[in-house]
Amino acid sequence: MKRFNNGVFHFVVFISILLFLGPGLCMHPFSYDHSLKSEEMEKTEKFQKGDIYSISAWVKLRNEKKRAVRITLRGKNVRYVDGGQVMAKNGCWSLLKGGFIVNVSAPVDIFFKSDGSAAAEISVQNVRLQRFNKTQWRLQQDQVIEKIRKSKVRFQLSFQNKSPVEGSFISIKQIRPSFLLGCAMNYRILESDSYREWFVSRFRLTSFTNEMKWYTTEEVRGQENYTLADAMMQLAEENKILVKGHTVLWDDKKWQPIWVKSITDPDDLKNVTLNRMNSVMKRYKGRLIGWDVINENLHYSYYEDMLGKNASAMIYSLASKIDPDIPLFINEYNTVEYAKGVGSPINVKNKMQEIVSYPGNMNIKGGIGAQAHFVPAQPNLPYMRSALDTLGSLGFPVWLTEVDMPKCPDQVKYMEEVLREAYSHPAVQGIILYAGPEMSGFNKLTLADNDFNNTKAGDLIDKLLQEWQQEPAEIPVEYHEHNDEEQSRIIGFSPEVSLLHGHYTVTVTNPSMKNFSTTFSLEVTTESGQLQVVQLELDV
C-alpha cells in the first residue's frame, strides 16, 4: 500500500487488529513474513482504553541498505501515534520495540512504515503484543528497581571474644544515594534566602538554566563576566550539591551572543569559539560532573554551517582534551517524548557514534542527555522505555536533563509515571527537573508557591526523594558458634539487608559496653554484585 503524506511517499505494512489479551500475558497474535503488499490481515482485536500495550517485531528491508522503520497507530478517534523506531537494514533482521497507551476503546490500525523520498520494501516477522494495566506496569517497574538499584549486603564481624557479640547491632545511614533526582536553579536563588533554604534542604544535584551560557558570560565581545555562575557554583559547593555544566555551546544561531551572530568569517568564529571553550571549561574544571558540550546539535547546525560538517566532532575532541575526566553530553529534546522527528533516539545515537568515531575521539567519555519536555497529556511509557533502550545501547550514561510538563489536571500523575519509568531503566543514571518554587519563574512544573508551601507537584518530588534514598536502619549482630581457631576469634553475622546503591556510614555498637563503638564508610554499587559481604575485624 502506498500512501502520500506531506509530499513524501511511504510504503506501509498495514495491520488492522483488535487486541484483547489476558492481562500481562505475552502472545503471538500473528506471525508473518510478507513483502510489502496492500493486504489487510484477517485477525482483528480491540485496544482497551488506558491500558499499556508493549509491542515488538522483527523487521528488515528488501530494497534499501538502511533506513529507519517506525510503528504507528491509527484508528477512529485516535490520532496518529508513533510507538517506536528502529534502524532497519537489508538482509538482516532488526528488533523494533515500543508500544502505545490509547485514549479510547476501539479498533485500531497498526502501520510499519518508512519515511523517505523512495519506496522501501519492509518485511515484518514475529509481532508480539503484551497488555498491562497501570498496576501491572508499576509492579514490573518495582521489580526492576529492586534488581538494578539495590544490592543485598551482609556483614561479617570478627571479635576477640564472645561477650561483645551478644547485644551488638549495626547502624546504617546513607550519606548520598548513587541515583540522584536533581533540580535546575537560576540566579534568583542568589536573591532569596527562602529559595536557597528550600533548594538545599532537598536536592544534591543541579544545573544552571542560563548562567553558564555564552550569551550570559560574554554579552560584549572580550568582556567576560562569570559573577552569577561563580556565585551559584559557590552556593552548590558549600552545600555539597553536584553541578552538571550547561552549556559550553549552543548549535542554534538564535541563542548565540548578539556579537557572535554578526560574524561572517569562519576563521573568526573558530577563534572566538576556541576562546569560549577554554574560558568556561577551564574555569570550572574539576568542579562539575559533566558538560553539555553543544546543546541541540541535531535540531540545529550553526557550527556545522559555519565551520564544516565535522564541527561537532572537532568541538567534542577539544572539549575532551580540556577536561578528559567527565562525561561530555549531547543534550536534545523530543527524544523520549515522541517517537519521530529530528531528535529521535536513533538520530541521537547516530550523532554520538559520529562524534566518537571521528579520528582521535575513540576514548571520549560520552553522555546522552534527553531533555524530556513532555506535553500535558498521557506520556507513552512503552515508547519511552524503548527510546531509553536505544539511547543506552552505546553504554554511555543517560540522563533526563530538563524534565517538565505544562500544567494540566493530571500533571502530577503523568509526571510520576515519567519519573518512575526513568528510575526503573538501567541506562538512566540521573534526573534533573526543570522546576522550582513559584518565585523562581518555573511556571510549568512549579513545586512551591510564593510562601514556599508545596504544590501537589512538590509533594510528589518530596515523596520520590524520600523513597529513592535509603532509610536509616539498625540490624542485630547474630552470634554463631563459629570459632576461628587459627586466629582465636569469634565470628558474628548480620542478616542480609537490601540497600539502595550509594555511600553509607556504618557504625557497630553494643549498648552494654560503653567504650565499644566503631564507624566505617561503605559504598554499595552495581559492581558489588547481588550480594556484598562486608568483613570487619573488631578489637574489643
With beta carbons less than 8 A apart as the criterion, state whether 182 and 431 touch.
yes
With beta carbons less than 8 A apart as the criterion, state whether 202 and 226 touch.
no
> Any idea what the Cα angle at residue 323 is, between residues 317 and 327, rounded to 5°?
80
Instruction: Return the closest-CA partner of residue 115 out of 67, 66, 73, 71.
Output: 67
**Which segments of 251-308 are extended strands (E)?**
291-295
Q: How far is CA 343 from CA 235, 295, 371, 423, in A?
A: 34, 12, 10, 21
pLDDT tens-digit map of 376-396? 999 999 999 999 999 999 999
For the chain, percent of residues with pLDDT exceeding 70: 87
Residue 296 falls in the annotated catalytic set: yes
- The arithmetic mean of pLDDT across residues 251-257, rounded, is 98
Instruction: Pinpoint the residues of the chain covered by CATH 3.20.20.80.
Output: 180-467
Instruction: Return the closest-CA partner of residue 386 out of 89, 155, 55, 101.
Output: 55
- Give the separation between CA 336 and CA 332, rounded to whole angstroms: 10
Max Cα distance, the chain (Å): 84
Band of pLDDT at residue 446, cut at 50, 70 and 90: very high
- Strand duo 531-537 + 205-206: pairing: unpaired
pLDDT tens-digit map of 98-113? 998 877 777 778 888 8
Band of pLDDT at residue 166, cut at 50, 70 and 90: confident
| 3-class secondary-structure state, position 403 | strand
Q: How far is CA 283 from CA 6, 181, 256, 317, 403, in A?
A: 48, 26, 20, 18, 27
* Complete DSSP assignment for 3-24: EEETTEEEEEEEEEE-----TT
At 515 the pLDDT is 74
This model's pTM is above 0.75: yes
With beta carbons less than 8 A apart as the criterion, state whether 470 and 499 touch.
yes
Instruction: Pinpoint the residues of the chain covered by CATH 2.60.40.
Output: 151-175+472-537
Instruction: Return the closest-CA partner of residue 28 out of 39, 16, 37, 19.
Output: 19
- The arithmetic mean of pLDDT across residues 156-183, rounded, is 85
Active-site residue (options: 64, 211, 218, 296): 296
Instruction: Pinpoint the residues of the chain covered by CATH 2.60.120.
Output: 2-134
Judge whether residue 17 has pLDDT over 80: no
pLDDT tens-digit map of 323-352? 999 999 999 999 999 877 899 999 999 999
| CATH code reported for the domain at 180-467 | 3.20.20.80
Active-site residue (options: 218, 337, 402, 421): 402
Judge whether residue 94 has pLDDT over 60: yes
Length of the chain: 540
| 3-class secondary-structure state, position 287 | coil
Cβ of 102: how many Cβ atoms within 10 Å? 23
With beta carbons less than 8 A apart as the criterion, state whether 372 and 401 touch.
yes
- Give the separation between CA 122 and CA 86, rounded to whole angstroms: 12
What lies within 8 Å, CB to CB, of 417 at 6+ separation is 379, 381
Band of pLDDT at residue 156, cut at 50, 70 and 90: confident
- Give the separation between CA 261 and CA 255, rounded to whole angstroms: 9
3-state SS string for 316-350 = HHHHHHHCCCCCEEEEECCCCCCCCCCCCHHHHHH
Instruction: Report the mean per-residue pLDDT for the chain.
Output: 87
Domain at 151-175+472-537, CATH from 1.10.12, 3.40.50, 3.30.1490, 2.60.40: 2.60.40
Domain 2-134: CATH architecture, name and number where available: Sandwich (2.60)
> Any idea what the Cα angle at residue 345 is, between residues 246 and 2, rounded to 5°?
145
- The arithmetic mean of pLDDT across residues 41-52, rounded, is 62
Judge whether residue 283 has pLDDT over 90: yes
Judge whether residue 22 has pLDDT over 80: no
Judge whether residue 302 has pLDDT over 50: yes
**Of the ranges 5-19, 109-123, 503-517, which one carries the lowest mean pLDDT score?**
5-19
Judge whether residue 440 has pLDDT over 80: yes
